[in-house]
Structure 1
Amino acid sequence: MPSPSSPPNATSENGFSFKRLAVPIFGPSLLFSLGEGAILPIIPLVARELGASVPVAALIVALMGLGSLLNNIPASLITMRFGERWAIVTAGLWSALGMALCVFTSHLALFAAGCLMVGMSRAVYNLARQSYMAEAVPIAYRARALSTLGGVSRIGSFIGPFLGAAAVYAFGLAGAFGVGIAGVVAAAALGARVPDLETPPLAPGQAQPAATTIVSTLRDHRRVFLTLGIGVVLVSAVRASRQVVIPLWADHLALAPAVASLIYGLAGGIDMLVFYPAGKVMDHKGTRWVAVPSMVIMGTALLLMPFTSGFTTLLLASLAVGFGNGIGSGMIMTLGADHSPRHGRAHFLGVWRLLSDIGSSCGPVLLSFLAGSLSLAAGIGAVGVIAFGAAGALAYWIPRSRALGR
């Protein structure tokens, strides 16, 4: 018998197969992240060509994250109103329009607006796919499905810059945006094949649930947001900071840019190798068994990183950071899905993703502040301490048994 969290149209746990999700869910995730990955390294270069200073170019890159942060709550409203399938399609097309604006404009302000549009679409897409998976996958397979979703996205983000670089070599900077547009449009086309989720019929005598709003969701689930939500903010701050830490410390050690890129790439490679085993552990043992070790490993590696003195020691610390981050793939999505209610799930996940994006935005800012006011080593050490704080918060607040969406 399907678990209470399984939708009526979902396959039973014994008959569930990931193959059913390969094309409609994992395929668009790969293509969408590939499309975004293709343009990310090119955005500051195009901004500079359009006359932006270095700080302004960096600000334009940050607009993508800001667009995602500001659009999490509107994304929940869109998903609740039109459903997951059309939200996924709309996100792909909106991202394509933003990238097209970046290609065909010669005005810096319009280019920045296009980047903001890409960030906005990311919020809608990520929320819609998470909401769909939370409903479509039986809880016994949920962590593996969401870990795979996160892992597939990382693979796309890893491949995208290489395809973008090849396109830039052949066609100039606009070529990367061509790859990006092709990726997100293909994601929208595949997303259109996602079957709609059926609304479960009411039991005899059961009243129609009251309509939910963002305010009612915040009120009804405030305890989760103020406990596990804090852990999510800390985890996201550590994850976002790690992307800055490795290249900055490599530069501090006077390593060549190519060597720094190699270390970063190898850390990303090990990150992508462990997402499925981690999801399996979460399904069988519980999310706590992965979430806490993930943060402890990352925290230890970050605290040791300032003591590295060359290629080998920095590589070892970076690989540990990548491994710790990799085993946590899908962790935040799984926690959000497990604690979200069936009725009004998109509202809950909108707030959940907002907390995650707040952490992602604040982590690098804190690192920058501490590096400027104290030292880079102090900043990296502080991120390591935050990782241990996240581990403690997750160990204390994650239930010992998997929660069911209600």
Structure 2
Amino acid sequence: MSTAAETPFRWRSVALAALLPTVLFSIGEGAVIPVIPVVAGNVGATLAIAGFVSGMLVVGELIGDIPSGAVIARIGERTAMIAASGLSVLGLFTALLAPNPWVLALGILVVGIATAVFALARHAFMTSFVPQRYRARALSTLGGTFRFGYLVGPFLGAAIIQLTGSAASAFWIHVACCLAAAVVLIVLADPEKTFGATADRASAGRHETAGEREVGDEAHGLFRTIRAYRKVLLTLGLGSTMVAALRASRQVLLPLWAVSIGLHETQTSIIIGIAGAVDFSLFFAGGWIMDRFGRLWTAVPSMIGLGIGHLALAFTAFLPGPVWWFIGIAMFLSLANGIGAGILMTLGADLADPRHPAPFLGAWRFTNDAGGAAAPLIVSGLTALVSLPFAAGALGVLGLAGAIVLRVFVPRYSGRRGATPEPRSAPA
């Protein structure tokens, strides 16, 4: 039986087969995120409903977390990424043809579901084909592709919008990127043939990779696993859920705020693109700080920064020159988010059982995504009931509360340089 570790490893093959499709997919998503509220407004949405529509992206990711493990375990990582690209195109066409905000929300929801499948498939792909001695660097690089896509995508969106005069034209960038990602995956040689199968032949007559086994384990007994690990998930997991909520609310609040102060969609895309550059530039710095000084030194400062940034955004409604305040706070929020890059994945890895990590990591990701899905809905609801500045302020208070939770529980569960997991019995 051959394994990925026994086969000579070539970074270029992994980059083309896994990182290039990821870059393409994330560029498309980065182009779409800033303009969703504008497109929603064009089909008759109020500011609160536009926030709801934007939130469907992360709600879709949460919904997609549930079946994605079983889907990938059944059809394989490469096929799942191709299928997710096709599903995303279907959602994007639904959004492009939407006559009202509710059909648009459905299209964005489908894009979110496709994103969840693609995200887990590429993680499993790297788990399968990258030798363990390279895995941390490979996954760090994979994480960096997200931020690179969110950096490039808004600038491409701004250029297309400037040329066409339509905010919805940014959706075509995501369509093109999804199709390009699928073509790359189809045209390139199957990595399983390049590196060899990594497990015994499955009963269905095909090779099952380590990544497929991992996502299969994650899909099995998700809610049972959450119950088994409820102590850590209700303590440190609560803090991580707040981190995810603040990150998701930032992606919804900034485009909504831009609409509320009358910024053109091209200007919005450029500002969010520059903020993405700030975020991207700090990706490796955050990881270095965690390795050098411990998890606490990025988790707490990042959450304090996100909380203060949301509170400051709320007060800009009462200040002159709202555009310049908006730009400054967008950069500050990106700085705070960039410093905390990788913190959720790292804490999850610290806490997971090294012998059988998948069940806990599946539960950890699901609870974090629940926070990410709830935040945009909170923004939408508070905007409808009170105002957008009130929603920003409420999320800011949540961020500062999250910093306290992390300060209390990170030292308890995660050691200075590695894991100090609580004694627990994993589900059978």
Into which bin does the TM-score normalised by the smaller protein fall? 0.7 to 0.9
How many residues are paired up?
A: 390
Counterparts of residues 237-276 of structure 1 (less than 5 Å): 237-246=245-254, 264-276=272-284
1:181 aligns with 2:193: no
1:403 aligns with 2:419: yes
Deviation at 1:234, TM superposition (A): 0.4
Q: Would you say the 8 A contact 2:68–2:120 is kept in 1?
A: yes
Q: Would you say the 8 A contact 2:282–2:339 is kept in 1?
A: yes
Counterparts of residues 234-383 of structure 1 (less than 5 Å): 234-246=242-254, 264-306=272-314, 309-310=319-320, 315-340=327-352, 348-367=360-379, 379-383=391-395
DSSP-derived class of the 1:199 partner: coil
Q: Which residue pairs with 1:204 in the alignment?
A: none
Q: Would you say the 8 A contact 1:141–1:283 is kept in 2?
A: no
- Separation in structure 2 between the aligned mates of residue 306 and residue 230 of structure 1, nearest angstrom: 24
- Separation in structure 2 between the aligned mates of residue 107 and residue 374 of structure 1, nearest angstrom: 24
Q: TM-score, normalised by structure 1?
A: 0.75
**Which structure 1 residue ranges, 5 or more long, are not aligned?**
1-6, 202-208
- Separation in structure 2 between the aligned mates of residue 108 and residue 262 of structure 1, nearest angstrom: 25
**Which structure 2 residue ranges, 5 or more long, are not aligned?**
202-213
Query: Partner amino acid for 2:301?
Result: P
Q: Would you say the 8 A contact 2:154–2:269 is kept in 1?
A: no
Q: Which residue pairs with 1:66 in the alignment?
A: 59
Deviation at 1:355, TM superposition (A): 1.8
Q: Would you say the 8 A contact 1:79–1:346 is kept in 2?
A: no
DSSP-derived class of the 1:69 partner: helix
Deviation at 1:390, TM superposition (A): 2.4
Change beyond 3 A, Cα 1:11–1:320: farther
1:159 aligns with 2:152: yes
Q: Would you say the 8 A contact 1:75–1:350 is kept in 2?
A: no
Please, which moves more after superposition, 135-144 or 112-121?
A: 135-144
The percent identity for this pair of structures is 37
Counterparts of residues 192-271 of structure 1 (less than 5 Å): 195-196=191-192, 198-199=198-199, 212-246=220-254, 264-271=272-279
Q: Which residue pairs with 2:82 in the alignment?
A: 89
Pairwise CA RMSD: 4.4
Q: TM-score, normalised by structure 2?
A: 0.72
- Separation in structure 1 between the aligned mates of residue 54 and residue 326 of structure 2, nearest angstrom: 27
- Separation in structure 2 between the aligned mates of residue 251 and residue 111 of structure 1, nearest angstrom: 18
Change beyond 3 A, Cα 1:189–1:255: closer
Deviation at 1:115, TM superposition (A): 3.1
- Separation in structure 1 between the aligned mates of residue 133 and residue 291 of structure 2, nearest angstrom: 6
Q: Would you say the 8 A contact 1:146–1:279 is kept in 2?
A: no
Q: Would you say the 8 A contact 1:301–1:317 is kept in 2?
A: yes
Change beyond 3 A, Cα 1:270–1:214: same
Counterparts of residues 3-22 of structure 1 (less than 5 Å): 9-10=4-5, 21-22=14-15
- Separation in structure 2 between the aligned mates of residue 379 and residue 78 of structure 1, nearest angstrom: 37
Change beyond 3 A, Cα 1:313–1:90: closer
Q: Would you say the 8 A contact 1:233–1:355 is kept in 2?
A: yes
- Separation in structure 2 between the aligned mates of residue 108 and residue 161 of structure 1, nearest angstrom: 22
Change beyond 3 A, Cα 1:275–1:139: farther
Q: Which residue pairs with 1:4 in the alignment?
A: none
Change beyond 3 A, Cα 1:220–1:188: farther
Please, which moves more after superposition, 388-397 or 55-64?
A: 55-64
Counterparts of residues 41-60 of structure 1 (less than 5 Å): 52-54=44-46, 59-60=52-53
Deviation at 1:71, TM superposition (A): 1.7
Change beyond 3 A, Cα 1:113–1:297: closer
- Separation in structure 1 between the aligned mates of residue 350 and residue 127 of structure 2, nearest angstrom: 8
Please, which moves more after superposition, 139-148 or 32-41?
A: 139-148
DSSP-derived class of the 1:75 partner: helix
Query: Partner amino acid for 1:217?
Result: T
Deviation at 1:327, TM superposition (A): 1.8
- Separation in structure 1 between the aligned mates of residue 45 and residue 292 of structure 2, nearest angstrom: 51
Deviation at 1:87, TM superposition (A): 2.3
Query: Partner amino acid for 1:384?
Result: G
- Separation in structure 2 between the aligned mates of residue 353 and residue 359 of structure 1, nearest angstrom: 10
Change beyond 3 A, Cα 1:343–1:86: farther
Change beyond 3 A, Cα 1:279–1:75: same
Please, which moves more after superposition, 211-220 or 151-160?
A: 211-220
Q: Would you say the 8 A contact 1:72–1:354 is kept in 2?
A: yes
- Separation in structure 1 between the aligned mates of residue 395 and residue 57 of structure 2, nearest angstrom: 23
Deviations 1:282-308 (A, max 9, x none): 345443332222213323444455566
